[in-house]
Chains A and B, each alone.
Chain A
Amino acid sequence: MLAFIIRRLGQALLVLMAVGFVSFAMFKFMGDPVENMLGQEATAADRAELEERLGLNDPIIVQYVRYFQRAMSGDFGVSYRVGLPVGEVILERLPATLELAFLSGVIAISLGFVLGVYTAIRRDGYVANFIMTASLIGVSLPTFLIGVFLIWLFAVNLGWLPSFGRGDTRSLFGVDLAILTVDGLKSMILPAITLGLYQMTLIMRLVRSEMLEVLRTDYIRFARARGLSQKTVNFGHAMKNTMVPVITVTGLQFGSIVAFAIITESVFQWPGVGLLFINAVNFVDIPVMSAYLLLVAVIFVTINLIVDLLYFTIDPRLSVGSN
């Protein structure tokens, strides 16, 4: 078990290094940060001097090694754009993204489950068929369009919900969260739906197909034959069996929720790490971009590790090294 974890962590570190290198190789083509950092009055000499000071003239590999050495000691540099330490900026923004991802995950899972179970039980009903078709609309349009449309409908025309930002926040253990206030929750509804719609459809369809399959298994048939009520069979036995794969898949999707948050956050001016990343890209804020990509890599490595460990515990046949 320990060996397994160590091996996986080693692989994870390799992935991190690779992501870091790829991103460093890429930054060179994203533009010149110096251009944004100096005003229009700057002379060629000023620019050359700043480039030298930032170490942008060094070969990529040198910049990369230097960055990694510093990052290892927890120093991610100072943002070119806002002049604050990158670690601080990201930590300040991360709760906003995580709570948004959390709420959209909750919406996606709960709605996905309910609708999935319903459409499985009423397999050929009109309502079920309608839900199945309608749910596809959510995955047949790009996220940003859905977000813009929701703003147009609910903020501009109906005036029910805020169009941007995070609303009021309340501090919990020193972390500002919008999810704890009514105003904040209202601000979260539209972005959370935009972000969660895709996952909801995915989960609903998965629950439905898992349910359909379980409902056909012998033991459910026996349960029915034994005279257990429809409700007990459906919710007590059948649904329980669909849980594990659904939760696994949802976990695997966490990485893409964080990635898609880039789009949702830009549309709704949600001050999370996704918006930070987009701003960094526009400004060629190399320290922030590197740290963000590393963060995404860390998140996805962690998810992988957790999933692997889960399998390991669930299925003893997957004992390590047996092959």
Chain B
Amino acid sequence: MTKTFLKLTAASVALCAGLSAVNAETLRWARAGDSLTLDPHAQNEGPTHTLAHQMYEPLLQRDMEAQIIPALATSWEPTEDPTVWEFKLREGVKFHGGEDFTADDVVFSFKRAMMPTSAMKELLNSIKDVRKVDDYTVHFETNGPNPLLPNNMTNLFIMDSGWATDNGCEAPQDIANGGDNPCVRAVNGTGAFVLESRKQDSETILKQNPNYWGKGEFPLEVTEIIYTPIQEGATRVSALLSGEVDLIQDVPVQDLPIVERTDGLKLNTAAQNRTIFFGMNQGADDLASDTVDGKNPLADNRVREAMNIALNRDAIKKIVMRDQSAPTGVIMPPFVNGWTEALDAYPEYDVAKAKALMEEAGYGDGFGITLNCPNDRYVNDEGICQAAVGMLGQIGVKVNLDAKPKAQHFPLIQNKETDFYMLGWGVPTFDSEYIFNFLTHTSTDKLGSWNATGYSNPELDAKIKSLASETDQEVRNATIAEIWDTVKSENLYLPIHNQVLNWGMADKINFAVQPEDQPHFKFLTFN
């Protein structure tokens, strides 16, 4: 099918909806996991948001290049009072059920997403109030100025207030109390696709929304989506190779060459917004899992430096990741505000120098320690850890690897029960502050919840706190740079690499990889 023909088809669809069934272009799409729920505020998780994005829409969203574009809002800016943002809403938008989209729906949806049973509430905790000004204007009042407010809204979906209330799902479901609500099974959004049928973990079918407001603005060449989760990597790739599906996410790195080699298939690649690194408990006086008594070898920056240069990141990239990673010297992907090439540069692999540093620090004979690692979370996570064990072994650090499923690994970090651990971090707000808040601020009730390094620097904490309300971008960026300098020179973390995303697809598909691993199928075109 030629492109012109399809364009003609699309045009005729617009003219006469009855014809669309004849020229339907179905996309069969598979990835490792299924969406967990259709309730747009009940889970804050990638695959769940991905499916929701096809049917529900946020006020503003990230496009296929991860740039913020208008969705249900047409403009947004702070008012004269920097704590109040004004959002102008798109007019003439209808929900799948035919209801009109108005400011009431926005107010309702944000209030719903801020309820205790919502999984999205943490992203909105800077919001004090949401107010309807008129039918197509909404004001957001924040606790203190929040220059990044829009960045927190890209996965915040708008529901129809009337529909939700009629169905008894004014609040996100409360799993603890056996709460079951219809919004878990049904969808009424404004998005480009309408839910046709869904069987959890098996098959979800979406049909194009004939009344979508974005007609003419987006390609909208896909008329039907059949989404199947396929958990096993080999089975997923097999399904693509045998032509049973047209597009897969999460191609296992070892299978990239065969997808590329196969006639009729291609591979699209993009850097992912996620960095993989090791954390070290440097704050404790003594470590539980090490072989040194009475002191903490990781507290010595020379030891951390030695470990840093003992990691052969290029070898990890080449062998473990099959060239599908971007080694880095900072725990921040390049998309993030604050990233510089200088920060990204990683030290040269130098065993001799590392050994000398170990000697200097008084650990010439090395020491033993346990590395906690997930085995089902990141791309080849356990393989990276195994490789690191070998590399650290060369400078005398005898690492005992403890690889576990994510459900057992992450609590170790949160409960600060690990001395040496792997963690990966994505930055949904695309700003350094997000990283500092969770990973470098002293671990307290609110901030530093993922900082298991025991690192605490009041001066740094003060700088991090100042970012939240600093409205002068230049001052703010200078502070960010200062914080990064400290984090890097102190070797707070041992960065490994940024992950690379690969989507395998049929040749007929034109679809760039989205850095957040979030395909928006309204952008997809066929050739």
Direct A/B contact, Cβ within 8 angstroms: yes
Assembled-state Cα–Cα distance A68/B201 (Å)? 27
Asked whether, in the complex, the Cβ of A40 is within 8 Å of the Cβ of B228, the reply is no
**B297: Cβ under 8 A from any A Cβ:** no
**A251: Cβ under 8 A from any B Cβ:** no
**A58: Cβ under 8 A from any B Cβ:** no
**A151: Cβ under 8 A from any B Cβ:** yes
Asked whether, in the complex, the Cβ of A269 is within 8 Å of the Cβ of B231, the reply is yes
B368 to chain A, nearest CB (A): 25
Asked whether, in the complex, the Cβ of B201 is within 8 Å of the Cβ of A276, the reply is yes
B120: chain A residues within 8 A (beta carbon): 39
A275: chain B residues within 8 A (beta carbon): 201, 231
Asked whether, in the complex, the Cβ of A31 is within 8 Å of the Cβ of B408, the reply is yes
Residue of A nearest to B179 (CB): A78
Asked whether, in the complex, the Cβ of A164 is within 8 Å of the Cβ of B176, the reply is no
Interface segment out of the listed A13-21, A45-53, A208-216, A308-316:
A45-53
Asked whether, in the complex, the Cβ of B450 is within 8 Å of the Cβ of A268, the reply is no
A135 to chain B, nearest CB (A): 26
**A82: Cβ under 8 A from any B Cβ:** yes
Assembled-state Cα–Cα distance A77/B411 (Å)? 24
Assembled-state Cα–Cα distance A302/B39 (Å)? 38
Of the candidates A44, A53, A271, the one whose C-beta lies within 8 Å of that of B199 is: A271
**A181: Cβ under 8 A from any B Cβ:** no
A271: chain B residues within 8 A (beta carbon): 199, 201-202
Total A-B contacts with CB atoms under 8 angstroms apart = 153
Of the candidates A77, A83, A282, the one whose C-beta lies within 8 Å of that of B39 is: A83
**B459: Cβ under 8 A from any A Cβ:** no
**A32: Cβ under 8 A from any B Cβ:** yes
Asked whether, in the complex, the Cβ of B122 is within 8 Å of the Cβ of A42, the reply is yes
**A5: Cβ under 8 A from any B Cβ:** no
**B446: Cβ under 8 A from any A Cβ:** yes
**A323: Cβ under 8 A from any B Cβ:** no
Asked whether, in the complex, the Cβ of B178 is within 8 Å of the Cβ of A269, the reply is no
Given contacts A84-B180, A266-B231, contact A155 B238 (CB under 8 A): yes
A163: chain B residues within 8 A (beta carbon): 235, 238-239, 242, 244
List CB contacts (< 8 Å) of B199-257 with chain A: 199-203, 228-232, 234-236, 238-239, 241-244
Residue of A nearest to B121 (CB): A46
| 26 contacting pairs across A/B (C-beta < 8 A) | A30-B407, A31-B404, A31-B405, A31-B406, A31-B408, A36-B407, A38-B44, A39-B120, A40-B425, A46-B122, A77-B178, A80-B175, A82-B37, A83-B39, A83-B184, A84-B200, A89-B200, A92-B199, A151-B235, A155-B242, A164-B236, A165-B202, A269-B229, A269-B231, A271-B199, A271-B202
Write the residues of chain A forming the contact surface with B, with a CB cutoff of 8 angstroms: 30-33, 35-47, 49-50, 53-55, 75, 77-85, 89, 92, 148, 151-152, 155-156, 159, 162-166, 266-269, 271, 275-276, 278-279, 282-284
> What are the 9 tightest A-B residue pairs by CB atom distance, in nearest-first order?
A31-B407, A39-B44, A271-B202, A41-B122, A53-B176, A31-B408, A32-B411, A163-B238, A284-B407
Given A30-B407, A275-B231, 17 more pairs with CB closer than 8 A? A31-B411, A35-B410, A35-B414, A36-B406, A39-B44, A42-B449, A44-B449, A46-B122, A49-B116, A53-B176, A54-B176, A78-B173, A81-B36, A83-B37, A92-B199, A162-B242, A269-B232
